[in-house]
Structure 1
Amino acid sequence: MKVFLRTNSPSHFLHGDWNTGGSCNSTTPLSSGSEVFGDHSGDLPAEYAVTGTRVKLLDITSISQLRSEAHVADHTLNSQSVKYDCSHWCLPGIPDTWNEILFAQI
């Protein structure tokens, strides 16, 4: 049996959070670089949680940060406009890469 823990999708709001006036209106792919460097996850609490266990970390945080423009931006929920939802990514896109990482680990 294999057990995996996927790290969190990154939040990339500027000037506040989603509910405090923050914005996430990136339109340029790879605007924060084109590579992920480092020996540590972009989600350190998740990395620490699996350290010393047999749980495999699927680290999607840093690679997803490179594509901050690839998620749903403005949408309507219950007649209210909701801005910049960084947790719902467009398909096809970043979630496909998450699946490729999982398949490579299996």
Structure 2
Amino acid sequence: MGFDDEEERFRERSLLEIASGSVLRIALLFGSVAVAIALFTAQVLDHRLGRDMARSTVVPGIDYTATGSIGYDGTYTVRRSVLQSSPDAVCIIRDNGGRSGDCPPAGR
């Protein structure tokens, strides 16, 4: 297979075949560049936003999250139902049968 055969094969390809290969290469090139820019931009924005968030706290290094506990040593069940009077209503049933909150009568 010589140079003349390759040149002849190239001449036989239609303009559409040549253009479709070029379009594919250009799309892959721009797609790769877009992915690289997105990765770089995400990293820079993450660094800047993290630094700005750290500066905006009242006292850096202190977490103001508060936790608490209830003063009951037994077990209990917390029930919520679509049948209760309000969507935020909660019924607490203790292990001794006591109920508090928005609970239906015990027979229901």
**Bigger radius of gyration, 1 or 2?**
2
If the length of structure 2 is used for normalisation, what is the TM-score?
0.17
If the length of structure 1 is used for normalisation, what is the TM-score?
0.17
Answer 1 or 2: higher relative contact order, Cα 8 Å, separation at least 6: 1
